[in-house]
Structure 1
């Protein structure tokens, strides 16, 4: 039976490689988003209150799916909502 000694340099090298691999995993899929979002995720994404989100549901501005007691929103619908309400801002300098 052979004994292998692990030095601090070996551990530091392992840590560096592990961190690099984790960063690659985290940043490898930047364009990939979740298909369905829960209410809290939508509120954080749009920076709105629970009441505003409820108003968007009630007036039909934002569609949703309810499963049990959880509401889910299609990410594509949120993108569509944002794109249809897009306006061209006029700089205050030219008003």
Structure 2
């Protein structure tokens, strides 16, 4: 006897698959927070913590005041360099 798949079967399978993928992504995001090196912060985190615009952050990068890394289109900034910006005696 052969089983026949219907559109409803495929739709239900798709919904189950999407739900499983969401769980995997959520779990990966939680684990990622534990494994990312805390000395490097993503651009949006830096902007939020320091309450600065993307342009201001780009200025720091271009002038060489902070070290950065570009990984797959995202910029990461050195946390120590950002701290030193405000602790330097001038």
Q: The TM-score by the shorter chain falls in which range?
A: 0.5 to 0.7
* Partner of residue 18, structure 2: none
- The separation in 1 between residues aligned to 2:65 and 2:53, in whole angstroms, is 15
* Partner of residue 45, structure 1: 49
Structure 2's unaligned 5+ residue stretches are 1-36
When normalised by structure 2's length, the TM-score is 0.53
Alignment of 1:63-78 (within 5 A): 63-78=67-82
When normalised by structure 1's length, the TM-score is 0.50
Across the two proteins, how many residue pairs are aligned to each other? 54
What stretches of structure 1 move > 4 A for 4+ residues in a row?
none
The two structures, once aligned, show a CA RMSD in angstroms of: 1.9
- The separation in 2 between residues aligned to 1:75 and 1:61, in whole angstroms, is 12
- The separation in 1 between residues aligned to 2:70 and 2:38, in whole angstroms, is 17
Q: Which structure shows the bigger proportion of residues in helix conformation?
A: 2
Per the TM alignment, residue 34 of structure 1 is displaced from its structure 2 partner at its CA by: 2.3
